[in-house]
Amino acid sequence: MILRDILIVQKREWDQRLSEQYVQRDVNSVFDPTDDLVRVVIGPRRAGKSFFALHAIGSPGTCGYVNFDDERLLAVADYDDILNAIDAVYDHPKTILLDEVQNLPRWELFVNRLQRQGRHLLVTGSNSNLLSTELATHLTGRHLLIPLFPFSFSESLGVLGHPLTDSEHKAHLETYLINGGFPEPLMKRIDRTDYLRTLSQAVIYKDIVKRYRIRSTQGIEDLARYLFSNIAKVYIDSPF
């Protein structure tokens, strides 16, 4: 499949996702036409970064979109081919969303070049690959971080789509305190226990153990279990 065809299929997926229920997030305006900063959406896994970015960037008729969570794109040697496909599908868009950009080898060079060429960029990616210290090195100050966390309680009320009585409000708060604010268990009514267990394992082993090459995985698991059990306490980073 040629690049143009891949992006056409991704554009259809974008259209489909825009038709799904969306809860407005408590985040400041994503784009400012007066600057040329690269907007970088960061946050925990499954917090809804891609979904937020798709809704924030606009409609497919005015902006471009590439999802690099596609192994066929990662085999492209000349990134100009990707840019040419974007321009062909979206008619030379000024604004482009690069989703899961950390999967692209040397992504920072591609992003910097597009920024220098006058494109307005919104970028999302894994927190383990887009830490603020690394972004400062890769993008040399030409970026603005947009932190996105799971739903706050007020945001979770938007899932319901209607006003609540006082008793319903209290019941929803109790549910929120138990289930947490990750969007999928709230919006899709999936089993939260298995979902959160799988998510926590991914954070521990993919974002921490793999990234920092930690050999004592039992120690990390014990630490995570302790932190999960003491969420109302203050943690102090001490050298002792």
pLDDT digits over 18-69, tens only? 999 999 999 876 777 678 899 999 889 999 999 999 998 877 777 999 999 9
Residue 112 pLDDT > 90:
yes
What is the torsional sign of CA 62, 67, 68, 71? negative
Q: At what angle do helices 107-116 and 79-90 cross, to 10 degrees?
A: 50
CB contact at 8 A, 39 and 118 = no
Q: Identify which has the larger pLDDT, 34 or 145.
A: 145
How many CB atoms neighbour CB 29 within 10 A?
A: 8
Task: Give residue 128's pLDDT.
Answer: 67
State the greatest distance between any 2 C-alpha atoms of the chain, in Å, as a whole number. Answer: 59
Burial letters 102-124, b for 16+ CB under 10 A, else e:
bbbeebbebbbebbeeebbbbbb
Q: How far apart are CA 172 and CA 178, in angstroms?
A: 10
Domains annotated on the chain, with CATH: 3-147 (3.40.50), 153-229 (no CATH)
Taking only the tens place, the pLDDT of each residue in 186-236 is: 888 788 899 999 999 999 998 889 888 898 899 999 999 998 888 777 777
**Looking at the chain, which runs of residues are DSSP E strands?**
38-42, 63-67, 95-99, 120-124, 143-147
State how far the Cα of 129 lies from the Cα of 98, in Å rounded to an integer.
14
Name the pTM for this structure.
0.87
